[in-house]
């Protein structure tokens, strides 16, 4: 068979598989958006109706009025932005040290970092809660922000793989010109790792934005709740109002989708290079 025809057939099959997979993942979101615009009498009809008749836009306004949505959104945004900044500051610096600097105990400490990645979060949940209780941080957003400024093992590993792929000749040339190690990192290596750093920032943004267990453990006052906690509270009090609940859920996931839409090329390139280099 003609190699060109075989190549085209493989490409068509690959695209068909990708389209099928994308449909599998996008259908729940379409159903979420559709349900958020339906009147209550249309939500449980069978067969399901995908297009609301009529469009119940009031689900959004009523949901926002029922809970202090904008307060929850502000709290979530503050926690998410601060924790993401913490990751951007700490993780590339540690990863660069593991990848490019020679110092005693580097291999042992990196092995310990990898070992920490394998410990389930449920194991450290109680010790961390006791620690933050002793510090007086329970009831505030500090336990959800401050730990990120000390690094996240998975992000450190991901960025280390990227830094390993950068040529050492750049460091040597900068050192000959009299640049310090921190200046080399800040002005040369960090900008070159921008795609990987943005990928890590997007990971952290999604993890912090959708986090439920952390706010549930540490946020005890309703004015400090995040959107995920507010959604759980809404479900416990207004569980029968599915249209309103889906409206709040849609508003919660929309920022993540929009952010990924604008940063998808950078995200994919960062993950790809981090995986194949080093």
Does residue 179 share a domain with residue 109?
Answer: yes
Q: How many domains does the chain have?
A: 2
**Range scoring the smallest mean pLDDT among 86-95, 138-147, 170-179:** 170-179
Contact indicator for 56, 38 with CB cutoff of 8 Å: yes
* More confident: 40 or 173: 173
Does residue 263 share a domain with residue 186?
Answer: yes
66-91 pLDDT tens trace: 878 888 889 999 999 999 999 999 99
Does residue 123 share a domain with residue 30?
Answer: no
Cα separation, 91 vs 141, in Å, equals: 21
Contact indicator for 184, 174 with CB cutoff of 8 Å: yes
Domain boundaries, position 133? 66-276
Cα separation, 36 vs 52, in Å, equals: 9
61, part of any domain: no
Task: Give the CA angle between residues 38, 43, 45 to the nearest 5°.
Answer: 130
Does residue 77 share a domain with residue 44?
Answer: no
Tell me which of 33, 56, 79 is where a domain ends: 56
Does residue 127 share a domain with residue 15?
Answer: no
Of 97, 206, 84, the closest CA to residue 147 belongs to 84
Q: What is the model's pLDDT at position 107?
A: 87
Q: What is the model's pLDDT at position 269?
A: 63
213-265 pLDDT tens trace: 899 999 888 888 898 888 887 777 666 677 778 888 888 888 888 887 777 77
Cα separation, 75 vs 95, in Å, equals: 30
Q: What is the model's pLDDT at position 274?
A: 47
Mean residue pLDDT of the chain comes to 84
Q: What CATH number is attached to the domain comprising 128?
A: 1.10.3720.10
Contact indicator for 189, 170 with CB cutoff of 8 Å: yes
For the record, the structure tokens of 259 come out as 């952010």
Residue 276 has pLDDT above 50, yes or no: no
**Range scoring the smallest mean pLDDT among 88-97, 134-143, 162-171, 234-243:** 234-243
């Amino acid at each position: 068979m003609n190699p060109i025809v075989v190549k085209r057939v493989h490409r068509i099959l690959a695209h068909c598989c990708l389209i099928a997979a994308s449909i599998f993942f996008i259908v729940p979101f379409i159903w979420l958006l559709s349900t958020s615009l339906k009147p209550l009498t249309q939500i449980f009809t069978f067969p399901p109706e995908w297009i609301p008749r009529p469009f119940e836009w009031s689900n959004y306004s009523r949901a926002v009025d029922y809970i202090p949505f904008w307060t929850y959104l502000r709290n979530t945004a503050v926690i998410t932005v601060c924790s993401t900044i913490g990751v951007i500051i700490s993780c590339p610096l540690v990863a660069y040290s593991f990848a490019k600097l020679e110092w005693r105990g580097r291999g042992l400490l990196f092995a310990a970092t990898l070992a920490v990645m394998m410990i389930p979060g449920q194991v450290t949940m109680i010790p961390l809660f006791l620690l933050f209780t002793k510090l007086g941080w329970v009831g505030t957003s500090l336990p959800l922000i401050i730990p990120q400024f000390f690094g996240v093992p998975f992000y450190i590993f991901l960025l280390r793989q990227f830094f390993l792929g950068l040529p050492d000749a750049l460091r040597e040339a900068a050192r000959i010109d009299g640049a310090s190690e921190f200046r080399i990192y800040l002005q040369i290596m960090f900008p070159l790792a921008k795609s990987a750093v943005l990928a890590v920032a997007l990971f952290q943004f999604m993890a912090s934005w959708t986090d439920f267990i952390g706010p549930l453990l540490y946020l005890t006052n309703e004015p400090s709740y995040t959107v995920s906690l507010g959604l759980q509270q809404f479900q416990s009090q207004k569980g029968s109002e599915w249209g309103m609940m889906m409206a709040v859920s849609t508003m919660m996931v929309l920022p993540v989708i929009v952010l990924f839409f604008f940063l998808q090329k950078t995200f994919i390139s960062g993950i790809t290079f981090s995986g194949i280099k080093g």
